[in-house]
Structures are given as C-alpha cells and as structure tokens.
C-alpha cells in the first residue's frame, strides 16, 4: 500500500516534487480550500490512514487532536520554526517525529521587522493613503513628519537567529545602538554589533524601537503587558514579528489609543487570524497578515525542509531538522 501524506495548506510545486521523488507512488492529499482547516476538517483529512503530516503554525495539534491521529502516523513536519501549536510531549509519547524549518527564514523575517520599523516611523501607510486619496497637493515642511531610525536605540527581545539578524542589520546599516535580552550573554554577537545585554525593564525604558523575537511559551505569554508597555517612551514603537500572544493586545491598543507610545507594527496577532477591530481604526499602527517568511526562495526552502523530513522519516532515517524533545 502506498504511503499517504496530508498537507494542510497549498504549497509550492517543488515541495510536492520532492515528496513524489522520495516516496514513489505516494498519495498526497492537500487542503483544497484557500483557508485554514477547522479541527474537524483536519481530522477528516488525516482519516484512518496517514503516514506523514505537513502542517502549518495555524493547525492546533494539541493533545486531543494528536490522540485521534492514526497509529501509523510517523512524522509531522511543520512549515514554521515555532512549535507552540504542537503538543511535543504527546507526539513523542505516540512515537511521532516532529520536524520544523530552522535557519532558512531568518533573513526574510528580519526584513519584515526592519520594514515595519521604517513603515511606522516614516508613516508609509499614511503617505500611501494620502496619495491615493488625491490629498497630496505638493511638498510641505510639516507634511507627515516621522521619526528617525538612523541612530536610534533598538531593543531586541529574544536574541536568537532572527533577533540577531535584525540587530546586525540596524547596527551596520542604520548606526543603531542595540540592547538585547537573552537567557545568557552572547559575546560574539555583542562584538559584531556593539550590542549590550540588559534586563527587559531597562530595555523598554531606553529603546526607541522594541522588536520582539522570543518564542511563545507559558513564560512569554503576555510578556508585554500593560505594566511593561507603560515603561516605554511616549516616542517609542513596538514591533511584533514573533508570536501574537507575547503581547497583551488589548493593553497595547489602550496605549496606542491614548498615544502613550508612538505606534506599533504587527505581523502576528493574539487570536490570529482574528484581531481586535479597534486596531483597524488606528492610524499609528501598521498591520501585516503574517508574511514574515513570505519570499519565494524562503518558502521554497521551508517546503524542501518539510518534504525532506517526511521522506527521511518514512524511509527510516532521522531528519536533520528533527526537534529534540
């Protein structure tokens, strides 16, 4: 009997080609909808015969869901770095290998973080709307005044691969002063861009831009709450390209409405894909639809890692990107 692989969102053809070449005769079933699957739809697709599952961060693979997967499911490859949507302990107990896509989305994700900083501080979205509405009547000294990214102090919350790439880009390209938080000091990173490790509270007080890059864990859920937002400068911007629940979204909206901080840039949301309608009415936010890794080359690389992990696992090999639980 041929192997059966379920894919929860449409992927690039290169991903499918690798599955077909590595698993001759494979039966590939892909979500036909242009939306995420509900839990019941996901379970129906997986059915009673599934050898490999290629999922996304939008698929809630909690203990209850994994418990309903067929016993022959051997591998879950997630089209993401973060695994907060997967109950890793339950997967391990079921003997399911879990693999992710590390390293390959670092540059693309860093670009989005820097782009959001520029879009917020230089008021790109407001300028675009003004021009499209026919309200641009000529250059004026006071029109759409923003703030400088050059020479600013940037606080990196979570100096992993992406956080470090953002910091290096800003230090080298924009002469920014870099502060960062991390569980341990990173001497090489500090030498490369003059970064200084500090606690979260002073980072929030001193930074002109606060950029979040920490994983979502029980400890980081609502890490940025009302109390910590209140520590930020009134002229500061908060950028979240990590995971939505790292920020207490309602507390942040309160601060934005009161102009307690200058603005914010989002690529992720606390209850994604839903977000508070209050956000849409604010002119001091930039809202993106979780496109941090959305470049052709990055998505190709992510798909290749996922497909190769499934091929390796179903051929009795350990994937290079297996998550050690």
Helix axes 106-121, 161-174, angle to 10 degrees: 50
pLDDT digits (tens, 9 = 90+) for 249-308: 999 999 999 999 999 999 999 999 999 999 999 999 999 999 999 999 999 999 999 999
* DSSP character string of 205-255: HH-SEEEE-PPP-TTTTT-B-HHHHTTS-TT-EEEE-S-GGGB-HHHHHHH
pLDDT digits (tens, 9 = 90+) for 243-259: 999 999 999 999 999 99
pLDDT at 324: 87
Ordered structural domains, the chain, with CATH: 4-103+296-314 (3.40.50.720), 106-287 (3.40.50.720)
pLDDT band at residue 2 under the 50/70/90 scheme:
confident
The answer to whether 8 touches 45, Cβ cutoff 8 Å, is: yes
pLDDT digits (tens, 9 = 90+) for 100-149: 999 999 999 999 999 999 999 999 999 999 999 999 999 999 999 999 99
In three-state secondary structure terms, 119 is helix
For the chain, the average pLDDT equals 96
pLDDT band at residue 325 under the 50/70/90 scheme:
confident
pLDDT at 196: 98
pLDDT band at residue 23 under the 50/70/90 scheme:
very high
pLDDT at 153: 98
In three-state secondary structure terms, 179 is strand
pLDDT digits (tens, 9 = 90+) for 164-185: 999 999 999 999 999 999 999 9
Catalytic positions, written as ranges: 243, 272, 290
The answer to whether 53 touches 75, Cβ cutoff 8 Å, is: yes
pLDDT digits (tens, 9 = 90+) for 225-245: 999 999 999 999 999 999 999
pLDDT at 43: 97
pLDDT at 60: 92
Q: pTM of this prediction?
A: 0.91
């Amino acid at each position: 009997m041929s192997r059966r692989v379920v894919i929860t969102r449409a992927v690039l053809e290169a991903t499918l080609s690798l599955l077909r070449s590595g698993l001759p005769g494979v039966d590939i079933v892909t979500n036909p909808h242009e939306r995420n699957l509900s839990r019941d739809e996901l379970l129906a697709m997986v059915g009673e015969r599934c050898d490999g599952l290629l999922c996304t961060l939008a698929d809630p693979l909690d203990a209850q869901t994994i418990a309903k997967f067929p016993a022959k499911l051997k591998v879950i490859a997630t089209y993401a770095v973060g695994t907060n949507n997967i109950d890793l302990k339950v997967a391990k107990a079921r003997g399911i290998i879990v693999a992710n896509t590390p390293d390959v989305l670092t540059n693309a994700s860093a670009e989005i973080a820097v782009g959001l900083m520029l879009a917020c501080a230089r008021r790109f979205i407001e300028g675009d709307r003004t021009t499209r509405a026919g309200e641009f009547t000529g250059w004026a000294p006071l029109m759409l005044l923003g703030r400088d990214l050059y020479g600013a102090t940037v606080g990196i919350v979570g100096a992993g691969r992406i956080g470090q790439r953002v910091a290096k880009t800003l230090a080298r390209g924009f002469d920014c002063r870099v502060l960062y938080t991390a569980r341990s000091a990173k001497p090489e990173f500090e030498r490369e861009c003059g970064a200084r490790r500090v606690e979260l509270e002073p980072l929030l007080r001193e930074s002109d831009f606060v950029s979040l890059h920490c994983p979502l864990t029980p400890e980081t859920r609502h890490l940025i709450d009302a109390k910590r937002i209140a520590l930020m400068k009134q002229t500061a911007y908060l950028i979240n390209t990590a995971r939505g629940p790292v920020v207490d979204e309602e507390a942040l909206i309160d601060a934005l409405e009161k102009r307690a901080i200058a603005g914010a840039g989002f690529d992720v949301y606390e209850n994604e894909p839903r977000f508070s309608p209050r956000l849409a009415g604010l002119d001091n936010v930039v809202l993106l639809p979780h496109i941090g890794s959305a470049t052709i080359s990055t998505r190709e690389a992510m798909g290749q890692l996922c497909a190769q992990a499934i091929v390796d696992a179903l051929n009795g090999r350990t994937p290079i990107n297996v998550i050690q639980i």
